[in-house]
Amino acid sequence: MARVLTVEDDADIQFVISFALKKAGHEVKMAGDGLAAMEALAEKLPDVVILDWMMPGLSGPEVCRRLREMPGGQNVAVLMLSAKSEQDDVTQAFEAGVDDYMTKPFSPKDLATRVQDLLARVAGTHL
């Protein structure tokens, strides 16, 4: 079981993400905006962060940049889950430090699979 922080300002989407990941056996903590995400990250780093791009307070890319600067932040897998689908948006997200990118709308099953893949990649880099 992995610890996952979901950062999403839409309650319906947050519910779908949480349901899919809990069903896959993960422990899920939720934050409704970028500032709440930073507070949660300061408490305890998760194994995976799922970030929306457009949120009140801090954007997803900014949260990712700040996470990467935290001690241990490089070891956290980050998946950007966004409605922004232009190539420039994807490029900006990867430049901010995300490990993977999915666009909305999304399949909850595909999301759970991507999280598993990220966890496997992160585990493989720490062998």
Is the pLDDT score of 124 beyond 90? no
φ, ψ for residue 30 (rounded to 5)? -120, 145
Residue range(s) defining the domain that contains residue 29: 2-113
Q: Which residue has the tokens 């490089």?
A: 74
Q: What is the CATH number of the domain that holds 52?
A: 3.40.50.2300
Q: How many domains does the chain have?
A: 1
50 occurs within a structural domain: yes
Residues near 125 by beta carbon (within 8 Å), at least 6 away in sequence: none
Residue 1 has what pLDDT?
85
121 occurs within a structural domain: no
**Beta pairing class for 3-7 and 100-103:** unpaired
Residue 127 has what pLDDT?
41
Is the pLDDT score of 31 beyond 70? yes
127 occurs within a structural domain: no
Instruction: Give pLDDT tens digits for 57-79.
Output: 899 999 999 999 999 999 999 99
Residue 91 has what pLDDT?
95
Residues of the chain above pLDDT 70, percent: 97
Confidence of residue 121 (pLDDT cuts 50, 70, 90): confident
- Model-level pTM? 0.93
Residue 125 has what pLDDT?
61
Which segments within 32-116 are labelled E, that is strand? 48-51, 77-82, 100-103
